[in-house]
Amino acid sequence: MNTVSATSFLASKKLTLSDPDWVRYALIGLSLSIIGLFLILPLLTVLIEAFAKGWTAYSASLTHPDALAAMRLTLLVAVVTVPLTTMFGVSAAWAIARFDFRGKSLLITLIDLPFSVSPVIAGLVYVLIFGAQGWLGPWFSAHDIKIIFAVPGIILATLFVTFPFVARELIPLMQEIGHEEEEAALSLGASGWQTFFKVTMPNVKWGLLNGVLLCNARAMGEFGAVSVVSGHIRGLTNTLPLHVEVSYNEYDFVGSFAGASVLAALAVVTLVFKTALEWKQNQELKATRQAVE
């Protein structure tokens, strides 16, 4: 069947390819039901429980010293891990997309490792390495350096679970873009850094921003790996997710759901920024296509 006859055949069968109205409405209703049950309802529950005893109790829970310490630690972990993860992701994506070298497949596998390993197992590995009875623990103890049950251990555990995000956003993007523009810039006399910042980065900026956004969300919300290495020390090693768990276990439901409301707000803000980035990217693509045409 040639192209013309195939097109005519599909045109004649157009009505049979479209779904009945009841199928579309059923799928839309099912999607909205799932969103309402697994997204909207939990968020409403968090807000209702957080404000169950009024605004005064809610604000008092968030301004409690333990809650403030947990929020500060969460922000500190994000501030440290996100730049490090970004630098690693950009470097790894650049190396994988632009060069062929021994161990390339192994590097890609290692980047994907946190997606397949439970965060709890990752935290346990850090305990076995840096704990008091671990491989390196006695040396660190002898030099009065605390890794496990301290902030450095929390940062290491968070780095493990977050470092694939930026790399995984950039690797396929750089491979798809290719390196013709970079070679052209180099041939015209641009330096390596000039080529990187004026050619490479503008081409991958939306993927980079999206990866950084997802990395930040994971860093602030990580629970499993951090729970293992933190020691749950109030005011010192409890991040906000751990503070929520401790408050709930102690029947401080307002404090627990107040902390959860902050995490939910961060999740909503992340979704808003992600949607805005996608919209801005689509607008830029449309403008580029119109300029080419």
DSSP the chain: --HHHHHHHHHHTHHHHSPPHHHHHHHHHHHHHHHIIIIIHHHHHHHHHHTTTHHHHHHHHHTSHHHHHHHHHHHHHHHHHHHHHHHHHHHHHHHHHH---TTHHHHHHHHHHHHHS-HHHHHHHHHHHHSTTSSSHHHHHHTT---TTSHHHHHHHHHHHHTHHHHHHHHHHHHHH-SHHHHHHHHTT--HHHHIIIIIHHHHHHHHHHHHHHHHHHHHH--HHHHHHH---TTTT--HHHHHHHHHHTT-HHHHHHHHHHHHHHHHHHHHHHHHHHHHHHHHHHHHHHHH-
230, two tokens: 């933190």
Phi/psi for 239 (5° steps) reads: -75, 175
The token pair at 192 is: 């390596």
Inter-axis angle of helices 253-292 and 54-62, nearest 10: 80
Question: If you count them, how many residues does the chain have?
Answer: 293
Cα separation values, 33 from 25, 275, 276, Å = 12, 22, 25
pLDDT at 285: 79
Q: Is the pLDDT confidence value at 12 over 70?
A: no
Per-residue pLDDT band at 1 (split at 50, 70, 90): very low
pLDDT digits (tens, 9 = 90+) for 35-82: 888 888 888 999 999 999 999 999 999 999 999 999 999 999 999 999
Distance, in Å, from the CA atom of 230 to the CA atom of 242, rounded to the nearest integer, reads: 9
Residue 188: per-residue pLDDT: 84
The predicted structure's pLDDT at residue 259: 94
Query: Percentage of the chain with pLDDT > 70?
Result: 93
User: Are 69 and 238 within 8 A, CB to CB?
Assistant: yes
Task: Write the pLDDT tens digit of every residue in 79-134.
Answer: 999 999 999 999 999 989 888 888 888 999 999 999 889 999 999 999 999 988 88
164-190 pLDDT, tens digit each: 999 999 999 998 888 888 888 888 888
pTM of the predicted structure, to 2 decimals: 0.84
At 5 the pLDDT is 52
| pLDDT on residue 293 | 67
In the chain, the percentage of residues whose pLDDT exceeds 90 is 51
